Amino acid sequence: MHIIKNVCLAYEKEFVRIENGEYMRIRENKMFNQLRIRENGFIFDCIFLLMESLEWNIPKFKELCHNANISYPRDYVKSLLKKKRFIDYHAEMSTKVWEDLFRAYNGKSLSPNDEKWIEAEVKSEANAIALMYHLHSLADIMAQIINRVVIGNQLRERDVSIYTVKKKIEKEDDKNKKRLLKRIEELLNNMYFKYVSAFVNITKHRYMIDTKYWMELKKGNYTQGLRFKRFNYNGIHYPKTWIKEIATTFREGILNCIINIGVELNKYIEKVYLGGK
């Protein structure tokens, strides 16, 4: 359990130096670690962005910004957390619709031409697409944070993207920023992020990718559900992909990269501004 003793983000309520407050874990999963803390009769919820053994300590990030006299990018951090909740929701719903459908029709005849089946396909696909749009946007929101905290707002907000921030850092001969650059490159080179980026761009600006319900027995593993058909974007071929895989493996891989960037941001501020090692 994390014992919170410093400034925390708590649904827009801030408090400092909780030394002996009552605290208990109220929610935990692979993505979030949330504690409820009671202090002077008030209850606060504190959120950390978490993925298994990885964690970006956002309250610590806020404290570091304050101590380094850096303007805390509150709106962008809030947006990251809110999008994370949307991502979790869409990931769950993209597969849950099938569980609900088969549970309702247990033992009854059901075909892909039935209205309820078609409705489940629409819901599953719509949630998977929304999931990827939010995953894709995390990179540019993180870029806004980097622009504010690391490169001193050299870029106008409308000009900020993960790519423009990367180019700015590449031009600077700063070994501390190079560590952050490495984390950005890990995200951009991540195979799951590349797929999601291509999918989002092609469906926003060109055409929708078709889906097909499929059942497969491979290496002793049985899989069924919707999957997106293969597509080509800017000369690169992307394979058929299960929605279930996007909701789990793809989501986790991209979130890991985002969290690693956040962890590196904390290290950067601590070392460059506060004399840490």
Alpha-carbon dihedral of residues 79, 82, 83, 85, nearest 10 degrees? 170
The beta strand positions in 52-199, using DSSP E, are 54-56
Q: Are residues 104 and 199 in the same domain?
A: yes
Q: Are residues 41 and 79 in the same domain?
A: no
The count of structural domains within the chain is 2
With respect to residue 62, please indicate whether it lies within any of the assigned structural domains. Answer: no
Q: Are residues 117 and 194 in the same domain?
A: yes
Q: Are residues 84 and 167 in the same domain?
A: yes
Residue 57: how many CB atoms within 10 A of its CB?
A: 19
Q: Are residues 29 and 125 in the same domain?
A: no
What end-to-end distance do the CA atoms of the chain give, in Å?
A: 26
Helices (H) and strands (E) in the chain, counts: 8, 9
Q: Are residues 131 and 36 in the same domain?
A: no
Q: Are residues 29 and 92 in the same domain?
A: no
Q: Are residues 116 and 5 in the same domain?
A: no
pTM of the model: 0.81
Q: What is the pLDDT along the chain (277 residues), one digit of tens a residue?
A: 333 333 333 323 333 333 333 333 333 333 344 444 444 444 434 445 555 456 899 999 999 999 999 999 999 999 999 999 999 999 999 999 999 998 888 878 888 889 999 999 999 999 999 999 999 999 999 999 999 999 999 999 999 999 999 999 999 888 889 999 999 999 999 999 999 999 999 999 999 999 999 877 667 676 788 999 999 999 999 999 999 999 999 999 999 999 999 999 999 999 998 876 5
Q: Domain span at residue 4?
A: 1-51
Q: Are residues 243 and 118 in the same domain?
A: yes
With respect to residue 60, please indicate whether it lies within any of the assigned structural domains. Answer: no
DSSP 117-144: HHHHHHHHHHHHHHHHHHHHHHHHHHHH
H/E stretch holding 165 reads: helix 162-170
Q: Are residues 77 and 47 in the same domain?
A: no
